[in-house]
């Protein structure tokens, strides 16, 4: 894991190239505290901040091919690099390091831009072809590692995080109202959009080639895709498919344990992370070191299930227990690293957990992220199944009662009161045939934050329609897929790539210089699961049916059969102690500060502040709006500082 940055083009000459590179990569020291590396040429600059994990002795970047005509800096891991290297050596390629990075330049020499098709990994790559004078940017298939770019001042710039661009392009350190509206609706911007003016995100599964004359070619080399409804399954039975899944998952874990430093694992107490640790224990010789997050608030705590797995597997285990006050205190740092408005505080405890992992001497952890998207694990998928069943007889009083089987883990469940449940989950029924049908209730709740925008910002986003805008981005083939396949695709493209892998994944882990690895997002597993029939994902209302089958004999029954409980953390309550706001919270919600930022209406935001301070926040809508406003205000304050520093 690392941070990368650089530029293509000669620019305006106001600052020496090396100084620009140092300024950019210096902002990413947390991603790579083990050393910096640079390559400068005629109109090209590459910079790298290294977190040493593979080939500690000779793996410093940038890495070049034998004749030094191709150079690369790279963030992430190529898990199949051993196999790739063996094949390339047999074809006559000569290597000068033992690193996974070097296979990239050799693959490019052999296959050109199609080199990405051969990679099994999580990566953001910048590659300079000096012979053809072209820069190639590439991002992994599911968006595990970030890569941002901008055109300004006669150059194309790129970096692992926007903060590196802001360090040299203060004009990009401005919030874009439309990007913020997306983040406050979908929980994240839709690639390639970002919340920053002039800054783009390279979408997952894409390669961007930039020629010396500025011409750009953006190519998608991979996407989530599903068979048409009614297509035959490649497996004769669920049991046969579960066996094939077990083999794939074991191999994915084996590959992702490759490192020249110790590898740990997060253990949440749920099926996904427990399954990974059980596979490590049963099928590898790797020592098992596990880490968990516990909450003082019992509503969010899963300590009992975590300890059950620790006893079952006999792991060497550490637990970090956090309070609401801990979350509130850490929140500004979390937002700074997330680099986007957020609607939940859940990333802050994960950032604190990553800090503990680093203190224990670990640089790498495996996580269970991605299993819910790949195998159909979220309540949203089951909720949509019930709502579609209900939509076929919208007058039925009995069909919506099935919703009562969901959200049992919530102290204030939206299905507690039948009338409210029918009203809330009945919204968006006109979209029953739409690919975004499952997401309309979530987006409706999230959009509460938009009601607090200032008049100027309301005008700036007046044409924004979350449903219509998102539908316009979807592939034509989605109309032929099963309903759950459509739900999975939208989830993977919004919540997973934009939020979970970013604000709760890469950014919070790298804040502590920790690399998170996600075996469930091995692209072979994603492709395998995408071909499964819907009933092997959600069987009745049992989520992740086939994954449960594949892991059943490895886990205690109470874990293998446990209903999905999503990871959550206290939200608005984290920012008040006995009705007294934390100092920075009071400052950000002050009328003067709200007017200065110009994003939100001071009177409306003030009323929400008073409501939350009194403990009267109403469900998810108020909590998400409060966190969304606060995070946006903190982000705006940070951008003011960045503009001053870069001036």
Asked if residue 141 lies in contact with residue 100, where contact means CB atoms within 8 angstroms, the answer is no
pLDDT band at 640 (very low <50, low <70, confident <90, very high): very high
Both tokens of 91, joined, read 């074809």
Lowest mean pLDDT among 218-222, 506-510, 576-580: 576-580
Whether 2-220 shares its CATH topology with 238-374+496-560 is answered no
Percent of the chain residues past pLDDT 90, beyond the cut: 83
Model pLDDT, residue 397? 67
Residue 412 has pLDDT above 80, yes or no: no
Lowest mean pLDDT among 49-58, 163-172, 481-490, 632-641: 49-58
Both tokens of 421, joined, read 């449940």
Average pLDDT over residues 423-434: 70
* Mean predicted lDDT score pLDDT of the chain: 93
Q: Find, among 489, 462, 450, 497, the residue nearest to 473 by Cα.
A: 489
pLDDT band at 618 (very low <50, low <70, confident <90, very high): confident
Lowest mean pLDDT among 146-160, 295-309, 353-367, 463-477: 295-309
How far is residue 51's CA from residue 350's CA, in Å, rounded to a whole number?
19
List pLDDT tens digits, range 45-55. 999 999 999 88
Q: How far apart are the first and last CA of the chain?
A: 30
Asked if residue 101 lies in contact with residue 72, where contact means CB atoms within 8 angstroms, the answer is yes
Query: Which position has the higher pLDDT, 317 or 411?
Result: 317
Residue 417 has pLDDT above 70, yes or no: no
The CATH architecture annotation of domain 238-374+496-560 reads 3-Layer(aba) Sandwich (3.40)
Choosing from 2, 189, 599, 612, which is the catalytic residue? Answer: 2
Residue 419 has pLDDT above 70, yes or no: no
**Three-state SS annotation for 460-502:** HCCCCCHHHHHHCCCCHHHHHCCHHHHHHHHHHHHHHHHHHCH
Residue 259 has pLDDT above 60, yes or no: yes
Model pLDDT, residue 435? 93
List pLDDT tens digits, range 71-90. 999 999 999 999 999 999 99
Residue 414 has pLDDT above 80, yes or no: no
List pLDDT tens digits, range 103-149. 999 999 999 999 999 999 999 999 999 999 999 999 999 999 999 99
Domain boundaries, the chain: 2-220, 238-374+496-560, 572-646
Residue 560 has pLDDT above 90, yes or no: no
pTM for the whole structure = 0.95
Annotated active-site residue 2? The verdict is yes
pLDDT band at 37 (very low <50, low <70, confident <90, very high): very high
Summary count for the chain: helices (H), strands (E): 25, 19
Both tokens of 440, joined, read 């309309």
Residue 413 has pLDDT above 60, yes or no: no
Residue 411 has pLDDT above 60, yes or no: no
Average pLDDT over residues 626-634: 98
In the block, residue with structure tokens 């901040």: 49
List pLDDT tens digits, range 369-396. 999 999 999 989 998 998 888 877 776 6
CATH number at 2-220:
3.60.20.10
Query: Which position has the higher pLDDT, 31 or 431?
Result: 31
List pLDDT tens digits, range 260-302. 999 999 999 899 999 999 999 999 999 889 999 999 988 888 9
How far is residue 524's CA from residue 133's CA, in Å, rounded to a whole number?
34
Average pLDDT over residues 331-355: 98
Asked if residue 634 lies in contact with residue 593, where contact means CB atoms within 8 angstroms, the answer is no
pLDDT band at 424 (very low <50, low <70, confident <90, very high): low
Model pLDDT, residue 206? 98
**Residue 144 CA to chain centroid, in angstroms?**
6
């Amino acid at each position: 894991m690392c941070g990368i940055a650089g530029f293509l083009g000669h620019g305006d000459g106001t600052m020496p190239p090396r100084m620009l590179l140092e300024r950019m990569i210096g902002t990413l020291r947390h991603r790579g505290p083990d050393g910096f590396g640079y390559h400068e040429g005629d109109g090209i600059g590459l910079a790298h901040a290294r977190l040493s994990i593979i080939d500690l002795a000779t793996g410093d970047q940038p890495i070049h091919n034998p004749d030094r005509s191709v150079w690369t800096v790279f963030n992430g891991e190529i898990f199949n690099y051993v196999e790739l290297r063996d094949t390339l050596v047999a074809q006559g390629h000569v290597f000068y390091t033992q690193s996974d990075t070097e296979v990239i330049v050799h693959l490019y020499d052999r296959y050109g831009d199609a080199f990405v098709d051969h990679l099994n990994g999580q990566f953001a790559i910048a590659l300079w072809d000096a012979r053809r004078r072209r820069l190639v940017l590439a991002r992994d298939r599911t968006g595990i590692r970030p890569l941002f770019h901008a055109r300004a001042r006669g150059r194309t710039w790129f970096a692992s995080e926007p903060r590196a661009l802001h360090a040299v392009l203060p004009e990009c350190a401005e919030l874009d109202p439309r990007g913020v509206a997306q983040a406050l609706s979908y929980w994240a911007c839709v690639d390639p959009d970002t919340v920053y003016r002039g800054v783009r995100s390279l979408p997952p599964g894409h390669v961007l080639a930039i020629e010396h004359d500025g011409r750009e070619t953006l190519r998608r080399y991979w996407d989530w895709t599903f068979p048409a409804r009614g297509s035959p399954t490649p497996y004769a039975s669920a049991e046969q498919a579960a066996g094939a899944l077990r083999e794939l998952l074991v191999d994915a874990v084996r590959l992702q344990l490759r490192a020249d430093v110790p590898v740990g694992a997060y253990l949440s107490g749920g099926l996904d992370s427990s399954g990974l640790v059980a596979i490590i224990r049963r099928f590898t010789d790797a020592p098992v070191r596990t880490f968990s997050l516990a909450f003082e608030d019992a509503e969010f705590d899963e300590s009992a299930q975590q300890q059950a797995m620790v006893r079952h597997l006999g792991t060497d285990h550490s637990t970090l227990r956090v309070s609401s006050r801990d979350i509130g205190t850490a929140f500004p740092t979390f937002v700074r690293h997330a680099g986007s408005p957020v609607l939940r505080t859940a990333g802050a405890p994960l950032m604190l957990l990553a800090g503990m992992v680093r203190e224990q001497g670990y640089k790498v952890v495996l996580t269970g992220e991605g299993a819910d998207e790949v195998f159909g694990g979220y309540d949203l998928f089951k909720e949509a199944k019930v709502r579609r069943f209900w939509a076929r007889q919208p007058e039925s009083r009995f069909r919506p009662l099935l919703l009562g089987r969901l959200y049992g883990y919530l102290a204030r469940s939206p299905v507690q009161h039948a009338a409210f449940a029918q009203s809330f989950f009945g919204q968006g029924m006109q979209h029953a045939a739409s690919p975004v049908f499952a997401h309309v209730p979530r987006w409706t709740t999230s959009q509460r934050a938009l009601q607090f925008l200032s008049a100027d910002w309301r005008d700036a986003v007046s044409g924004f329609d979350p449903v219509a805008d998102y539908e316009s981005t979807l592939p034509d083939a989605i109309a032929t897929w099963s309903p759950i396949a459509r739900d999975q695709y939208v989830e993977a493209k919004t919540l997973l790539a934009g939020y979970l892998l970013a604000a709760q994944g890469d950014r919070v882990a790298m804040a502590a210089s920790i690399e998170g690895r996600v075996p469930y997002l091995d692209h072979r597993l994603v492709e395998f699961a995408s071909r499964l029939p819907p009933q092997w994902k959600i069987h009745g209302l049992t989520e992740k049916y086939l994954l449960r089958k594949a892991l059943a004999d490895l886990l205690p029954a109470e874990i293998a059969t446990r209903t999905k409980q999503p990871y959550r953390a206290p939200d608005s309550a984290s920012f008040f102690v006995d009705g007294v706001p934390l100092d920075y919270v009071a400052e950000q919600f002050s009328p003067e500060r709200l007017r200065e930022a110009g994003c939100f209406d001071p009177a409306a935001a003030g009323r929400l502040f008073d409501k939350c301070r009194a403990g009267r926040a109403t469900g998810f809508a108020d909590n998400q709006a409060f966190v969304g406003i606060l995070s946006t205000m903190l982000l705006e304050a940070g951008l003011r500082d960045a503009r001053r520093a870069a001036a």
